[in-house]
Amino acid sequence: MRTRVRTASRPETPSMAREWEKTKVRYLRSGLCHRCAAQAAWGHQYGAGGWNAVRPPCSACSELIAMFAYPTINPVWRSMIRKRL
């Protein structure tokens, strides 16, 4: 019998995937590399484990992340403003 490892309580919905993509694009536009932008978007993702479930930023992005406005529960990450329309 195979056991499945669950990373979230429910499967990702299409709207959650769209929100992740929008969040990643915001971080890319702020200057993060693709890997770090994806990690930051994952930190915002509902049901994904939050900021403690992401890897540390790369050395090139860590200085930029230190300038973001909002601290997170993970001390090596900060969050930028997320505007809701």
Domains in the chain: boundaries: 14-79
CA distance 36 to 57: 6
pLDDT tens digits for range 65-84: 999 998 888 889 999 865 54
Give every CB contact of residue 67 below 8 A, 6+ residues apart in sequence. Answer: 78
Q: For 7-45, how does the pLDDT look when each residue is reduced to its tens digit (9 = 90+)?
A: 556 777 888 889 899 999 999 999 999 999 999 999 888
Tell me, what amino acid is at 24? K
What single string gives the DSSP state of each residue in 37-85?
HHHHHHHHSTTTTGGGGSPPPPHHHHHHHHTSSEE-SSTT-EE------
pLDDT at 65: 95
